[in-house]
Amino acid sequence: MARNNRVAVQGDLTGDIHYDIIQKDGRVIPFLRVYMMINGSSGAGEVRGLRVMFYGLLAEEAEAHLQKGSRIEVEGHLQIRRIPDEGVSVEVAAEDVDYIRNITWERGSKRLAEMAAAGKKRPKLNAVEDVYPVAVQA
């Protein structure tokens, strides 16, 4: 990740929320893919869809809280990768999320309690390499 590759976006989730796991170097990594609708600048006109990826414990936490129509703010970095049969994808790899509205708080709180009981904690943001796999094909 480049040092100056930082982005923060806010928007509403649309479409399906896809949660799954990938295996990389013998490790199981949960991931969550969502599409967020964001408004462009006043001169840009139309609303645009943006693909957002969550990895690791953040994916587990977000999957429990989010539903179609949730509004969130995501901080992270941009990544560009090839997706077979789809071409190139520009997406945000989330490093932090703020839940704003239309959130499933009860299910999310239950998941956080389960994660705490299992000893799972999200790492500090400087441990990015352990949480966000590079060039993973989803």
Task: Show pLDDT as tens, one digit a residue, over the chain (138 residues).
Answer: 557 889 999 999 988 899 999 998 888 899 999 999 877 666 666 666 889 999 999 999 999 999 999 999 999 999 998 888 878 888 999 999 999 999 999 998 898 888 888 888 765 544 444 444 444 444
Asked if residue 126 belongs to a domain, the reply is: no
Closest CA to 55 of 9, 19, 106: 19
Asked if residue 79 belongs to a domain, the reply is: yes
Asked if residue 125 belongs to a domain, the reply is: no
pTM of the model: 0.78
Domain membership of residue 108 as a residue range:
7-117
pLDDT, residue 127, reads 43
pLDDT, residue 16, reads 82
Asked if residue 129 belongs to a domain, the reply is: no
What is the domain-level CATH number for residue 51? 2.40.50.140
Asked if residue 127 belongs to a domain, the reply is: no
Asked if residue 124 belongs to a domain, the reply is: no
Domain count, the chain: 1
